[in-house]
Amino acid sequence: MPLASPETGLDYRGLAARIASLTEGETDAVALMATLTCEIHHADARFDWTGFYRVTEPEVLKIGPYQGGHGCLVIPFSRGVCGAAARTGRTQLVADVDAYPGHIACASTTRSELVIPVRNGAGDVIAVLDIDSDRADAFTQADADELSAILDAVFGRL
């Protein structure tokens, strides 16, 4: 992992090390999500809302631990950026949410969004990590790759 993102100065290596230290030995998914949410949200000023939506039944996401204003309580796999990430199992990097067909506006301040599927050790999607920004085009592929690696390291052991 690079020491810092050239665009933002975000120290992904340090973030990954803090998260590894804080979550060592923990196997409860919600406790892990709460810890990651706090660490990720406070790591970068671009992150206006940071949280997890958990797969709680087939084709349904429900809000999990988050930081920021209120989020949507329930998101079907068939709707929005989070639903697309859960449905396809692929990261969604949205530079302009207003241009995204079917975007669910949980907060009127959201301008761009990064949603990453969270997989357990068996490869099942158990949640998505949703990061919203009040800035347009706030996220890069490097952000997606670095955060995916952190998620894989933490949740891949479940």
Is position 6 within any domain? no
- The tokens for 106 are 């949980």
Q: Work out the average pLDDT over 64-86.
A: 95
The predicted pLDDT at position 23 comes to 98
- What range defines the domain where residue 116 resides? 12-155
* Predicted TM-score of the model (pTM): 0.93
Does the residue 68 lie in any domain? Answer: yes
Find the length of the chain. Answer: 158
Sign of CA dihedral 48, 151, 76, 51: negative
Residue 21 has pLDDT above 90, yes or no: yes
- Contact between 157 and 35 under an 8 Å Cβ cutoff? The reply is no
> Residue 85 maps to which CATH number?
3.30.450.40
What digits encode the pLDDT tens for the residues 22-68? 999 999 999 999 999 999 999 999 999 999 999 999 999 999 999 99
Quickly state the pLDDT bin for 1 (edges 50, 70, 90): very low
Q: In terms of Cα–Cα distance, which of 74, 141, 133, 76 is closest to 102? A: 76
What's the rounded Cα separation, in Å, for the pair 11 and 100?
A: 29
Instruction: Compute the radius of gyration of the chain from its Cα atoms.
Output: 14
